[in-house]
A and B are shown apart, each in its own frame.
Chain A
């Protein structure tokens, strides 16, 4: 990895594959990206995908409706494992969102120009993932219609939320994350919405994109303020990449349960979040670039860079697993030691070893450039990592809860059919929203792509 980076840097000007295919100009970029929304006929593949994902959303609606009527007894949660699927799914989905923010904010601040073509849909992925994530704690509350009790608002009971509780921190963290991501995404979209407005053929499209673009006309004074706020939003979103999953990990780490009560949790969760997030970006980018012919915009270099980030975060996560095991042993705490052994050889051992295979062993293939440059292999590995990261959250939630300090309170847990239906349903919801996004909004930022074209360069004033 190190030598590869050095080589990359030393011969940067010569050998680095470009971030955009050759021969593009302002017109062709605009045409190609906006055509997906405005000109192309809705493809059969899109309709099929949309239909299938809508069917899965219907399943989700049914599962949630049933939950609202009958209560969370239809899930497998029970004392001692009161968290189960819902929290594992929540952590998994929130984690997936992180790559979007990292790409859009941190890579922007670091002047990584290759981020340009993937940041828009990575941000959309963040939003949809956080929507899916937010469902689970709400539904898990039992009476979701009282969710607003979590918020500080003047009420006749003169009650306040318990601000010392990590669960309330979580509400603020997720709400802030969603809102800031949405604002960042929308501000980024405004110039592109104006492009769609100006290219729209139908009156209806012209009106809708016109309203959404708020009358953007690209004046240089506007651009200056726009750029300033976009950069500042990136700066504000950057600590969110680290803080959201940190706060999520506090839900675990602030408790005193064996396996949870650990200071390594925040960095461990953040690394895992970025790991699964980049896996999801690859999972989405591979089909999008193939179906819409965007290989010139989302190039091999993008996929390879993402694969490298995945490998790096894979190693961080691996280090966290190892240090968990080491500290369990080194602490001399019998409960900790038992928890760790139970994880590896107890009733949930299969899940633990599945996690090791998916998150540690298989992604090591990314060390090889041939694997990183093979689209099908990358796609398969990204799916494996997604599965592995879900398994990790399942293992964290269940193995610590099901056997804690007192053997008399031990128990077993397994998800019911409705647990699986809800998890599967949110995957459907995610894809459903993504299909809508691809069809109705530009999946790649046209305004930012134009800046990458050679003719966008201007010379400084002379004298």
Chain B
């Protein structure tokens, strides 16, 4: 029964003209006790993600781990190749020639860190994701252009179709839409 109800309605979406209106609305919704919500903006608005409820940011750690793996991996690949697997005796020069391995170590650090950061961001954001219920609202097209949206999701325990709709209407949006799932 519950799944059916959710299948009908993903949530309610309110449209605002500017970031200030959206921010005020998000604050009000948070004070009213809503937690399952998301704000959609055409450019990043730092304050809003704080209000919406920011979880731990994993990106820096992913980049760090990627960089360390890239650097160590690069260095030991060079060590293994030049000193162990294919040692070349050139005029008795030392095989442990670590300074010569630094440029590639550095490059691989940057390369792996950058790739893991970018892929990590996409993965945690769940992208690519061709379908999402909010796209069902025709006017949501403006979320990437000039309008600001606040979506209170049906999954929220406090969510009630009529009460939440009245609440959102009270925040002076341009309009409130049903988001079909």
Contacts and interface: CB of A to CB of B under 8 A. Distances in A.
B13 to A, nearest CB: 11
Interface stretch (A43-51, A126-134, A376-384, A451-459): A451-459
B37 to A, nearest CB: 9
Interface stretch (B4-12, B101-109, B156-164): B101-109
Interface in A221-272: 221-229, 232-233, 236-237, 239-240, 243, 247, 250
Contacts, number: 202
Nearest to A177: B107
**Chain A contact residues: helix, strand, loop or mixed:** helix
Nearest to A447: B43
Interface string B27-47: 100000000001111111111
B77 interface: yes
A195 B78 contact: no
Given A229-B120, A232-B117, A217 B144 contact: yes
Contacts of A161: 81
Interface string A162-205: 11101011001101100110011011000100110111000000
Nearest to A168: B104
A168 B104 CA distance: 8
A460 interface: yes
Task: Name, among A184, A210, A226, the residue most crowded by chain B CB atoms within 10 Å (CB to CB).
Answer: A226
A229 B118 contact: yes
B43 A220 contact: no
A249 to B, nearest CB: 11
Nearest to A199: B145
Contacts of A243: 103, 106-107, 110
A27 interface: yes
Contacts of A191: 42-43, 144
A172 B78 CA distance: 12
Interface of B: 18-20, 23, 27, 38-49, 52, 54-55, 57, 59-60, 63, 67, 77-78, 81-82, 85-86, 88, 97, 100-101, 103-104, 106-108, 110-111, 113-115, 117-118, 120-122, 124-125, 127-132, 134-135, 140-146
Given A220-B39, A224-B49, A232-B113, 16 more contacts: A26-B42, A160-B82, A164-B82, A172-B108, A176-B108, A197-B144, A198-B142, A211-B128, A219-B40, A224-B57, A229-B118, A247-B103, A447-B44, A455-B19, A456-B19, A458-B47
24 contacts: A26-B145, A158-B86, A159-B86, A164-B101, A172-B104, A172-B108, A173-B107, A197-B144, A198-B142, A211-B130, A214-B129, A215-B128, A217-B144, A220-B52, A221-B52, A223-B44, A224-B49, A224-B54, A227-B46, A229-B63, A233-B117, A240-B110, A456-B43, A458-B23
Interface of A: 25-27, 30, 152, 158-164, 166, 168-169, 172-173, 175-176, 179-180, 183-184, 186-187, 191, 194-195, 197-199, 210-211, 214-229, 232-233, 236-237, 239-240, 243, 247, 250, 447-448, 450-451, 455-461
